[in-house]
Amino acid sequence: MIWTVLLLVLLYVLATHRSRSKNDPPLDKGLIPWLGHALEFGKDAFKFLNRMKLKHGDIFTVRVAGHYVTVLLDPHSYDEVINDSDSLDFARYAQVLMERIFRLRLPHHQSNKEKAMMKKHFTGMNLAALNSTMSRHLLALLKAETPQNQKHWKDEGLFNFSYGLLFKAGYLTLFGGEQNNNGSDPSRVYEEYKKFDGLLTKMARGTLKTDEKRTAHRVQQRLWELLAPAGLTEDDGSSPWLHGYRQLLQEEGADDDTQKKAVLMQLWATQGNVGPAVFWLLGYLLTNPEALTAVRWEFSHISQVETSDTPLVDRPVNTPVFDSALEETLRLTAAPFITREVVQEKTLHMADGQEYLLRKGDRVCLFPFTSPQMDPEIYHEPQKYKYDRFLNEDGSAKKDFYKGGRPLKYYTMPWGAGTNGCVGKQFAIDTIRQFVYLVLTHYDLQLCDPHAPMPEVNANRYGFGMLQPEGDLLVRYKLRSTHQH
Ligand code: HEM
């Protein structure tokens, strides 16, 4: 018996043994068999990748839980990965999570169709309709938070305030459901979703403890029940996008089980990032009075000529100061991995002339948070929030950033890039602008402790999109007297 086990272990080690050959990127397997660097990677990917970058440079291959992942950190070379759809299969954002959590893979041809369908629903006239529904829900939810004639301050954690309101408004806009209707009350969905989101990184890494596994199972069941009716019929109050997505799944023969998992992943992809982004933006504005004054000043010039409550919905408005403040926020807090699977051997040409071989079956991963976003060669004092970093002297949007003396095509990448970039980008920006406008012009909002610093980042979430804080930032708010309803 013992010999059989030893033989199996030996065969396994031989079969998975890998050494570096001449054209491979530097290989770092870590000390633990199979797991490799998985623990350090999961604990704080930013720190780990910075350590590897110092040791190996801008490209290296690490072993992570049985997979070999080649990490590329030179933004001048990112197009080699982003634009190659022949050798590299895009492992999509939500798709990667679906696979890890549910062991479920949708066929590739479906994802191409899905992408086209999504683009259609999130641009042009459809976007205008989404914006106006979203704005209606945001106003109603904000009003519900501050009962009529309330003259007193209301205290709340800024993260909970932002995530809660934006999740609920986004859910009502895209998934339907009604306020105070038991079946699909957005507050109930939010409560369950928050628990799901809290366990998400552990689910994806397979590191749930026994009791957490039970909670995760229960929460998923509840969310599936709550989401079950969403998008099934054209007139159920959900968006045409969700209905179209359901139809596509059905045409492809996806069974009920697959559909419910896919719809849950879409809830995560569409609602998981905007709330946290608004939290960081409002947090940075509140802790940087100069930035807050500049954005307020810009907004006040819009509201002087407008009478409607939601002037930003009907037509495009030029808000370069706000745009820069948002871009700077996302530079500091958007940290997705851009991942691809190598489906056929590929020679990767680095911008500096070096060439490396990518092996079939491996993964390639870009982490734009490390570079360009936090790269001191590109951004002076990269840890600091400077609201006007993306503004030129003349007030126009600044787009020229350099590394190694050469202009960068990708100087921040919160939305991913290329054909696989975020389809909801414009909708997300419009929503954030709309919400921040409402809060800053209709409400008085301040820090409970005027000297409170921004909370630290939860380091487990590097790679999962928008970062989230460790703890919260306490704020208080009340309706401005000129806007008492
Ligand atoms: C601040 C807000 C947001 C950020 C930072 C963000 C970022 C991203 C990123 C980085 C990706 C992956 C791109 C890639 O893999 O190369 C993505 C995908 C996607 N985003 Fe966004 N996003 C945001 C908001 C939204 C919103 C509001 C929607 C829709 C209403 C949306 C819909 C999607 C969809 C459908 C995908 C594709 C997911 C899939 O793989 O199936 N996103 N987003």
Domain boundaries, the chain: 108-337+367-483
- Percentage helix, strand, coil for the chain under 3-state DSSP, each rounded to 5: 50, 15, 35
Report the Cα–Cα distance between both ends of the chain, in Å, rounded. 79
User: Rg (Cα) of the chain, in Å, rounded?
Assistant: 23
Distance 180 CA to ligand 1 centre (A): 29
Where are the alpha helices (H) located in 83-185, listed in sequence order?
A: 93-102, 108-121, 124-145, 158-175
Q: Yes or no: say if 317 and 308 are a contact pair by the CB < 8 Å rule.
A: no
The answer to whether residues 66 and 73 touch, using CB atoms and an 8 Å cutoff, is no
Expressed in angstroms and rounded, the spacing between residue 392 Cα and the centre of ligand 1 is 28
Q: To test ligand 1's pocket by mutation, which of 84, 273, 280 has the most ligand atoms within 8 angstroms of CB? A: 273
Token representation of residue 439: 């809060």
Q: Which of 182, 177, 180 is nearest to 238 (CA)?
A: 177
Give the list of residues 6+ apart from residue 23 with CB closer than 8 angstroms, or none: 347, 355, 356, 357
Count Cα atoms within 13 angstroms, Cβ side, for 312: 25
Binding site members for substrate: 100, 106, 273, 363
β-strand pairing of 464-466 with 338-342? unpaired
Asked if 63 and 37 count as a contact pair (C-beta separation under 8 A), the reply is: yes
How many angstroms separate the alpha carbon of residue 1 from the centre of ligand 1? Answer: 51
Q: Which CATH number does the domain 108-337+367-483 belong to among 1.10.10.10, 3.10.129.10, 2.70.180.20, 1.10.630.10?
A: 1.10.630.10
Residue tagged 């023969």 (tokens): 253
Helix, strand or coil, per DSSP, at residue 349: strand
For ligand 1, the distance from its centroid to the CA atom of residue 99, given in whole angstroms, is 17
pLDDT one digit per residue (tens) for the chain, 485 residues: 676 766 666 666 555 677 778 899 999 999 888 888 999 999 999 999 999 999 999 999 999 988 899 999 999 999 999 998 888 876 555 566 666 676 666 655 456 777 788 888 998 889 999 999 999 999 999 988 886 666 789 999 999 999 999 999 999 999 986 655 545 689 999 999 999 999 999 998 889 999 999 999 999 999 999 998 888 887 778 889 999 999 998 988 888 888 898 899 899 999 999 999 999 999 999 999 999 999 999 999 886 666 566 666 666 788 999 999 999 999 999 999 998 889 999 999 999 999 999 999 999 999 999 999 999 999 999 999 999 999 999 999 999 999 999 999 999 999 998 877 899 999 999 999 999 999 999 999 999 999 999 999 999 999 999 999 999 999 999 988 766 54
Minimum CA distance residue for ligand 1 atom 18: 422
Q: Beta 443-447 vs 338-342: how paired, if at all?
A: unpaired
User: Does the beta carbon of 97 sit less than 6 angstroms from any atom of ligand 1?
Assistant: no
* 365 ligand 1 Cβ < 6 A: no
How many residues appear in the chain? 485
C-alpha count within 13 angstroms, C-beta hemisphere, residue 418: 14
Which among 15, 60, 69 has a CA at the least distance from the CA of 42?
Answer: 69
Q: 306 near 254, Cβ under 8 Å?
A: no
Alpha-carbon distance of 171 to 168, in angstroms, equals 5
**Does the CB atom of residue 462 touch ligand 1 within 6 A?**
no
